[in-house]
């Protein structure tokens, strides 16, 4: 039996309704019609036979191969095995927080990359015409979800700090000059507060904000083809 659940029986009953009735062991939607309808009875008999095979397979117990079970259990045991000795802090912390490490005379200082990103964001606030590019997911009803370092990504390596910056700028300023001023100021603030070497500050100007009173220039309408022909054609006397 080829079952097309989107079809109807000659009596008008949806085949999908009968399939659902047999599969979920439901009461018929129209018992009086179903009892007296030969089309429904024949189809129900065929569906019961087909679904009986499905139920038989579902009751059959299936055992996974021994080798597969052992391989899975070995993996689980390996994941649950705890080290006999506690891990040193310098091993655990880098896995949880990316940071810059400063070795000093009386100890070490760690500065998280989130702190570096915050310093970079605050240095950007010194430029009123610029702000970090904020994605739509970080705004609700046109408002920022708190102060954010979105648009600023800091990478810390042995060679120094690399800042990746995405910004939105106001319409008007000369962009190369503005970006270079942002870069110099950000490097100065990071060095001033952390003493770290700032290797690069890469800037992507992602958008331009127009003034609130900005109006799109109105372009003159182009003349229609027949009008331009009439105007350009020479007059005959």
pLDDT reported for residue 106: 85
Residues 97 and 205 in one domain: yes
Q: Give CA separation, 97 vs 94, 116, 132, 204, in Å.
A: 5, 12, 23, 26
Residues 129 and 162 in one domain: yes
pLDDT reported for residue 27: 87
Query: What is the helix (H) or strand (E) element at residue 157, kind and residue range?
Result: strand 152-157
> Long-range CB contacts (< 8 A, 24+ apart) of 184-191?
185/123, 185/126, 185/127, 186/120, 186/123, 186/124, 188/123, 189/119, 189/120, 189/122, 189/123, 190/116, 190/119, 190/120, 190/123, 190/161, 190/163
pLDDT reported for residue 140: 42
pLDDT reported for residue 72: 83
Could you tell me if residue 234 is inside a domain?
no
Q: Give CA separation, 47 vs 15, 21, 40, 116, in Å.
A: 10, 10, 10, 67
Alpha-carbon distance of 67 to 57, in angstroms, equals 24
What token pair was written down for 92?
Answer: 């655990």
Residues 10 and 29 in one domain: yes
Residue located via tokens 């018992």: 31
Could you tell me if residue 20 is inside a domain?
yes
pLDDT reported for residue 224: 61
Could you tell me if residue 3 is inside a domain?
yes
Query: What is the helix (H) or strand (E) element at residue 80, kind and residue range?
Result: helix 66-80
Residues 123 and 14 in one domain: no
Residues 169 and 147 in one domain: yes
Could you tell me if residue 236 is inside a domain?
no
Could you tell me if residue 218 is inside a domain?
no
pLDDT reported for residue 74: 80
Q: List the one residue out of 176, 200, 180 whose CA is nearest residue 190.
A: 200
Q: Which domain holds residue 141?
A: 89-209
Residues 77 and 95 in one domain: no
Residues 199 and 96 in one domain: yes
**CATH classification at residue 180:** 3.30.300
Residues 59 and 123 in one domain: no
Half-sphere exposure of 168 (CA within 13 A, CB side): 11
Residues 105 and 203 in one domain: yes
Residues 131 and 147 in one domain: yes
Residues 160 and 201 in one domain: yes
Which of 81, 111, 137 represents a domain boundary (last residue)?
A: 81
pLDDT reported for residue 215: 66
Could you tell me if residue 229 is inside a domain?
no
The rounded average pLDDT for each run of 10 residues, N- to C-terminus, in the chain (237 residues) is 65 86 86 90 89 84 81 74 56 59 80 89 91 58 46 82 92 93 95 91 91 68 58 55
In total, how many domains does the chain have?
2
Phi, psi of 4, rounded to the nearest 5 degrees:
-110, 95
Alpha-carbon distance of 213 to 209, in angstroms, equals 12
Residues 132 and 23 in one domain: no
Could you tell me if residue 46 is inside a domain?
yes
Could you tell me if residue 140 is inside a domain?
yes
pLDDT reported for residue 64: 78
């Amino acid at each position: 039996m080829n079952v097309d659940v989107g079809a109807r029986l000659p009596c008008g009953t949806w085949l999908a309704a009968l399939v659902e009735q047999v599969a979920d062991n439901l009461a018929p939607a129209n018992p009086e019609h179903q009892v007296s309808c030969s089309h429904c009875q024949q189809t129900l008999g065929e569906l019961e036979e087909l679904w009986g095979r499905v139920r038989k397979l579902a009751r059959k117990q299936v055992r996974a191969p021994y080798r597969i079970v052992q391989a899975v259990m070995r993996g689980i045991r390996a994941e649950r095995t705890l080290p006999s000795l506690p891990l040193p802090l310098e091993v655990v912390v880098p896995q949880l927080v990316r940071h810059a490490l400063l070795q000093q005379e009386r100890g070490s200082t760690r500065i998280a990359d989130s702190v570096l990103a915050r310093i970079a964001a605050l240095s950007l606030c010194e430029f009123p015409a610029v702000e970090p590019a904020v994605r739509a997911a970080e705004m609700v009803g046109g408002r920022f979800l708190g102060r954010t370092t979105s648009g600023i990504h800091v990478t810390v390596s042995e060679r120094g700090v690399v800042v990746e910056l995405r910004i939105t700028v106001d319409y008007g300023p000369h962009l190369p000059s503005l970006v270079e001023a942002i870069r110099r100021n950000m490097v100065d603030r990071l060095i001033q507060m952390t003493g770290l070497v700032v290797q690069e500050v890469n800037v992507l100007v992602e958008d331009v904000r127009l003034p609130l009173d900005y109006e799109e220039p109105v372009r003159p309408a182009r003349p229609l083809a027949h009008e331009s022909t009439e105007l350009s054609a020479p007059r005959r006397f």
